[in-house]
Chain A
């Protein structure tokens, strides 16, 4: 029992921290920076325990006597936890300046964020479909509330309404899917579904296939895959900057935690049936996202459109899982990390700039940015290159792994489409670089000040480059391929 408590300690920290922060939400002595610091400390404590878990690797079920096999602790889920916690911490730290400049961040904001992280962590550990649904919805509810947090800006509640209505409708499909699967297999445990399918190869498994696809609907919706994408641009635009950043990077990772677990275990024998459907969705997502990103003039909206394209790349890899290549699933994790690094960096630059100016930034606002902010411009260029998949950045390696795993799975057509979309995306990413460097600025040159925000942006830029070219020759420092090995090990723990 005590041992089980140790196992869930990281999650306990988060949920207790969230409740404490909520109770303290009207304590007048705490200002927004104190609250930010407290939240970061809670996340860091939890992260510390997760790192211990990762090295010890208990690989067991928590409270097995109470919950059975509902709640699993393995390398895979621990690694995802580490990514959520790291992501949340970076999001909070990098927005340090932004919090200072806005007055609407009170204690509830941080409590909601922690509840969201808690939901994601439970989602990664869920080994049962209903618990997964509850975890997914509790994470989503926190995000819904966070999206509408800035009620001074009419766009923010509008975005929340759009997101909550569509999100709840798609969420229902999850339950329907679980019911159908239960109808055929008589169990909602993830391993049991696999065993049922394996034990009855002669059955058509119609209910499992249809139910499985219903389960995918909310996941596809939340990663913004076409045709479930209509909310993405508006919600990303309307949400406060830290929330957009959190959604684009961290929340997306959480959805792949459950998608991968389902794909690699439950539906492993019937992957091939879905592959074509997923390929179709991937193709639509790539093309639709690229069009959306091409027509934007607002940077935040452009990044939102491009995040749809990145979801498309992930869909390519998801459609290749179990089709031949051994690296398709690790490629997804690698890509998530690489996208996380570059998008947090890019949003970080936006957040740094909007902490000074209270309006959303367009391409024109970046005119002459290379002259007025030379250092930040270099970093922004690195993030754009990384998002575009330019070689020598981590984004290139991410795309490389995805395309090659698609080719390994024999899906050259979709890989070619991915490469073509990467070419199209060159235009909107390079456009920002061009705008920054090719025009003179009226603004005077700003001195580069080193504070939490800029330091972290610089760190992200460094990681983008090192992740693309790093060699394994330097002792104790992971090279460019260090991450994929970790991801492979974690995926291996599922089998």
Chain B
């Protein structure tokens, strides 16, 4: 049981190393990748079955790493990271199916390395270990955008790396400072999350240390003003990378604020709560306006993703049970829906080599199944009743009203404004008469259905029967809230 999380993290990397060692052909490599992903999924489900909702941090494994500074290999899972873990495990096999016919080796190796990096970042509970995975997951994205991307991809790859690392370096400095503060107060070194969290966080310099962490997460999410890498990177990424960027890595930014922001700096965040809520609300509407104006589908949904991440962040900042439940739910459902949308956009690109809204139109008449799924995912992103997104957004709105009527009204109206772009986009891409580009648009094949149907089932299941999932997450969220000092 101790080794469960370690296996989940490293299975893809082991598969990649094995593939490289035997100089595997593309056919073998994809089997290895899928096998590792399915193995990881199986282990995650096994872990979920044995997960005790009341048990706090579980499957903890601690091994010494850099002993002179008390740095350990420290992994564990609770309700919060459990949700993200399951999400990643579910999405990865689908992504491997999406790229099934990919012949370029580098693609597969990078995806497997990315898989390990993301898993590690979710599960690690030692600050330095977290930093290691947090940085390590950037490298495959850098290579994938730069090597397999399109339209000015070299420049955009450099941009995402430089901006993201700027944030991470600030986080590193904060981490070092926290570790040192711990050393001064306790007389021995530790970078373990639980130890650092026990430090009195009202200490001198806590605001600056919190700022370091928040900068890293704000760039990763990204919040407005830190977002200039986002649209170009999404626009020039290949589809699997863009799915990971939007569904997983951006969520990890929010996860980071949740785990490390609220875990370590709750009083500081409390102090700046109003300001941060204003930023989140501004982000929702700011990105929504960008999304409406955008013509490139990937960039459009990049902005939409930014808008929803601001919403998740808003839920977090409200710091009550409804909003936190809603945020966690939205992390999961938005990831599923945006994975669906970006895969559909990828399929459009495969078929007609264009994803600009102007060039498309009339797809519904040519490919009804495709149109159905595309509109389903696009609407699921904005919270179509009956999908999980609706439940999540409802919970956040309730939480916002609980926080204050003004915030509630603002949240609800901003959310309304934020969804308008979808309808206009669907109208222009799917309906109307088909043109030269879209005539002969092929409908979904059986293989492609295999990728999108599980996503749809999960979205419907989370939407129709949230009571299936709440017992697992609710006690954990209450515990987190309690330890963060909120209500």
Q: A residues bordering B, Cβ < 8 Å?
A: 327, 370, 385, 390-392, 396-397, 400, 403-404, 407-408, 412, 415-416, 419-420, 422-423, 426-427, 430-431, 433-434, 437-439, 469, 471-473, 479-481, 484-485, 488
**Partner pick for A404 among B147, B154, B176, CB 8 A cutoff:** B176
Q: List 19 A-B contacts (CB under 8 A).
A: A327-B68, A392-B136, A403-B172, A403-B173, A408-B183, A416-B173, A423-B166, A430-B161, A437-B147, A438-B146, A471-B63, A471-B65, A471-B73, A472-B65, A473-B63, A480-B66, A481-B67, A481-B68, A484-B66
Contact flags (1/0) for B302-318 with A, using CB distance below 8 Å? 00000000000000000
B158 contacts A408, C-beta separation under 8 Å: no
In the complex, the chain B residue whose C-beta lies closest to that of A437 is B147
Least CB distance, B148 to chain A, in whole angstroms: 10
Contacts of A385 in B (CB 8 A): 139
Count how many pairs of residues, one from A and one from B, have CB atoms less than 8 Å apart in the complex.
93
Residue from A392, A397, A419, A438 within 8 A of B66 (CB atoms):
A397
B172 adjacent to A419 (CB under 8 Å):
yes
Known: A392-B136, A404-B69. A434 touches B172 (CB 8 A): no
B69 to chain A, nearest CB (A): 7
Residues of B within 8 A of A396 (CB): 132
List of B residues within 8 angstroms of A434 by Cβ: 142, 146, 154, 157-158
- Residues of B near A433 (CB, < 8 A) are 142-143
Interface centre among B147, B166, B170 (most CB of A within 10 A): B147
Given A390-B135, A391-B132, A403-B176, residue A430 in contact with residue B158 (CB < 8 A): yes
Verify B128–A412 contact, CB threshold 8 A: no
B473: Cβ under 8 A from any A Cβ: no
Query: Which residues of the partner chain A approach B158 to less than 8 Å between Cβ atoms?
Result: 427, 430-431, 434
How many B residues touch the partner, as a band?
Answer: 35 or more
Given A391-B135, A391-B136: A437 touches B176 (CB 8 Å cut-off): no
| Contact assessment for A480 and B177 in the assembled complex, using a CB-CB cutoff below 8 Å | no
Shortest Cβ distance from residue A469 to the other chain B in the assembled complex, whole angstroms: 8
B390 to nearest A CB, angstroms?
A: 40
Measured CB to CB, the nearest residue on chain A to B130 is A391
Residues of B within 8 A of A415 (CB): 173, 176
Per-position binary interface string of chain B over residues 202-228, scored 1 when its CB falls under 8 Å from any chain A CB and 0 otherwise: 000000000000000000000000000
B162 sits at the interface (CB 8 A): yes
B67:A404 contact, CB within 8 angstroms: no
Report B142 CB to chain A, min CB distance, Å: 7
**Contact A391:B180 (CB < 8 A) given known A327-B68, A419-B172, A481-B65:** no
Q: Is the pair A438, B157 in contact by a Cβ cutoff of 8 Å? A: yes
Q: In the complex the two chains form, what is the Cα distance from A111 to B229 in whole Å? A: 55
Are A390 and B139 in contact (CB-based, < 8 A)?
Answer: yes
Asked if B64 and A472 sit within 8 Å, CB to CB, the answer is yes
Shortest Cβ distance from A422 into B: residue: B169
Ranked nearest first, the 3 interchain pairs of A and B with the lowest CB-CB distance are A391-B132, A438-B146, A481-B66
How far in angstroms is the closest Cβ of chain A from B25?
15
Residues of B within 8 A of A430 (CB): 142, 158, 161-162
**A472, B67: Cβ atoms closer than 8 Å:** yes
Question: Is A419's CB under 8 angstroms from B169's CB?
Answer: yes
C-alpha spacing A390/B140, complex, angstroms: 13
Partner of B132, one of A392, A403, A488: A392
B334 an interface residue at 8 Å Cβ cutoff?
A: no
- The interface residues of chain A lying within 8 Å CB-to-CB of B67 are 472, 481
Taken together as a complex, chains A and B put the C-alpha atoms of A479 and B66 apart, in Å, by: 8
Pair B136/A438 contact, Cβ less than 8 Å: no
Q: Name B180's contact: one of A407, A423, A471, A480 (CB within 8 Å).
A: A407
- Cα distance, A484 to B65, chains bound together (Å): 13
Alpha-carbon separation in the docked complex, A408 to B180 (Å): 7
Task: Tell me the nearest residue of chain B to A479, going by C-beta.
Answer: B65
- B153 close to A (CB within 8 Å): yes
Chain A residues with CB under 8 A of B63:
471, 473
Q: Is B472 an interface residue (CB 8 A)?
A: no
